[in-house]
Amino acid sequence: MDKIVGKHSEYTYQLLTRYPNPQKRIEAGFDKLIEIKRLTASKIQDILSVAPRSIGTTSPAREFEIIEIIKHYKRLIDKAETCVNDLMAEFNSVITTVTGIGGRLGAVILAEIRNIHAFDNPAQLQAFAGLDSSIYQSGQIDLAGRMIKRGSPHLRWALIQAAKACARFSPAFKAYLKTKLEQGKHYNVAIIHLAKKLIRTLFYILKKSCHLTNKK
């Protein structure tokens, strides 16, 4: 099932905690599973389609073990996120002023970029993230919606997640995404265009922030 939902995500943890075995997932059905935040209808259909073949493969002891492992990982994640948020608050970076970018994504982006002055223009930063024109125009994305492996994978992941968040919370980015979709772009390709727009925004605000800091 990890090929369907992934091993480490909030909705995977919720799914396995509430319904730790295939029989319980079948009994819950679509209407209950759809209540799990960010678990899409297509993923639910895949989960329910493989569940009958997995009945009898788990035991109460195994279910207990799974739930305890999830609790352990969630404690580690919470602790790590607290540390990241504390560091970002101390760092006080302008990056978190961008709608949709919080402490976690901001930390990943800053850690991967390291020195904004290493890039002369947004196109260089875009290429470093593996989001240059040769990729997003041809739509070289695998079946799971992941970009082909090129550039910094961590920066690419963070920018794409941030672009999706911007599309939800920023009217300007939401309108830009709508325009790309109306132009006939596949959703994943449209999100890459959105990430490219985000890169331009981040490039200029980080450059400006560093310039103002140096003048003080």
pLDDT, tens digit, 9 for 90 and up, residues 97-123: 998 899 989 999 999 999 999 999 999
Tell me which residue has tokens 């352990």.
72
In contact, 165 and 137? CB cutoff 8 Å: no
> Dihedral through CA 58, CA 63, CA 68, CA 74, nearest 10?
80
Question: Across-strand partners of 147?
Answer: 141
pTM: 0.68
Task: Pull the structure tokens for residue 17.
Answer: 């905690």
- Kindly list the distances between the CA atom of residue 201 and the CA atoms of 19, 125, 157, in Å, as whole numbers in the listed order: 42, 11, 17
**Mean pLDDT over residues 27-44, rounded?**
89
In contact, 37 and 10? CB cutoff 8 Å: yes
Name the DSSP class of 148. P
Task: Pick the more confident residue, 51 or 171.
Answer: 171
pLDDT tens-digit readout, 174-189:
999 999 999 999 998 9
**pLDDT at residue 55, as a whole number:** 56
- Given pLDDT bands bounded at 50, 70 and 90, which one contains residue 140? very low
Task: Pick the more confident residue, 95 or 135.
Answer: 95
Greatest mean pLDDT range, 84-88, 174-178, 208-212:
174-178
The percentage of the chain sitting over the pLDDT mark of 90, rounded to a whole number, equals 44
* Alpha helical stretches, state H, 55-120: 60-91, 103-113
**pLDDT at residue 59, as a whole number:** 79
**Mean pLDDT over residues 153-164, rounded?**
92
pLDDT at 5 over 90: no
- Of 101, 148, 149, 128, the residue nearest 196 (C-alpha): 128
> Dihedral through CA 142, CA 146, CA 152, CA 157, nearest 10?
180
> Dihedral through CA 201, CA 204, CA 207, CA 211, nearest 10?
-130
- Given pLDDT bands bounded at 50, 70 and 90, which one contains residue 7? low
